[in-house]
Structure 1
């Protein structure tokens, strides 16, 4: 007696079980995303058409994608895209995979604009020129532009490959006319005065990278991870450079690693910034440091 054909529901259950047996905590979500991608379907269609029978090519595609996930490749890398702050962003080998923790920086920056804490910037972003340093996929800059329809942004990255991905994401999302992509280190290619500087810089200690989870260690570019011997190299450069570019009253916002809030805050204070505050992530860990250039510039 022949066995009944495998349905999409069967395929989803089997994939989920394989990922769960491998100890992956997001097995259910990963399975939905991988199967949907292999079929070329939306996740919603998986529910609506779960009784249908996938063709052999789709079965082979699911097997190949599942094997990559079981080998430790992140789902975002497998799909070549990642959602960030409601935006569908394409990834590249030279980009960090944007993560929810960085949305906290975006939300804090948006809140500052909307409550009128950024001089010259209206609630819709008019008058705001922000810089996203180490832009990668363009995640921070593009999320800000999507939320603030009259804002403008400069996206800077040391990697030409990453900058090309950011520019392509901006074009695909209809935001390219308000994004200026520049190849360079930190703020070296930003010559005009700006009202906000944002960054998720590399902040992992060099010697700690080998001990990172393999999904990060083996798939995110080292340039986007390595913060030097103590993880603080980028912050030492960003504080004084941002102070020099920001208009009086302008804001800097930086994502940080665990245990770095005090050192980063002290560095910003030494550069001349005031109103320094730390914002926690959902797990209660220090995640973002925000600061303001004094409205009356002291001439540092």
Structure 2
């Protein structure tokens, strides 16, 4: 007898990671239709932890899939940390999303540390016996450089993402996710009043670049009353941090290599489109 189980969808877990783009979702659908679902869906009990898009598409098209239980989870925080580590290793995750995930990991570990300290303080007050329970293992919270390295980012980039995470209006965050503004420029814009962030995001890329320029000029003028530094900021430029400010060179080199690879792939894709359009245009002319 085949026993079927009902898979539960937890909305928090389903939306914990940024959704796939329309193109990525379509590519996944084509792959599943052509090759089937090769990777097992990860469950915690009957709750789906990893494979939400695959589950939706397999259910839609009647594609068979396998499941696997992760028996190491003891709490939702364990699930979240596993999801973070799992997605940090995926190439398709953007720099901004990796930074956000690294910051979420830090927040979870900090909360665990605070909870542990509270329990230890309570134990010290209520249990004065000489033989108490064995002390719990301390929670290790990575520093920024370690977090950045795990996320394959430079420490500077992670610091910029943290500024955006703390101070950016939701409209500015969406602009970063969509690529309308760079992480570096968004970190500068996040220092501006929220209403200016919202207005610039509504107007688009040009307005966001202009607001980033204004933010950098204001910062430069605050450091130098004479304003000499501000005059050197080119209009619309999205300047990278100075070389001497980069704390983690290997991570920065890796980030730049990924950027070059991404741009190269985009260039090759555009070349193919031009070639196909040229062929189609030639065929259309011949038909005439």
Both proteins in one fold, TM over 0.5: no
TM-score range, shorter chain: under 0.3
TM-score computed with the length of structure 1 as normaliser: 0.26
TM-score computed with the length of structure 2 as normaliser: 0.26
Q: Which has the higher strand share?
A: 1
Of structures 1 and 2, the larger Rg is shown by: 2
Q: Which has the higher helix share?
A: 2
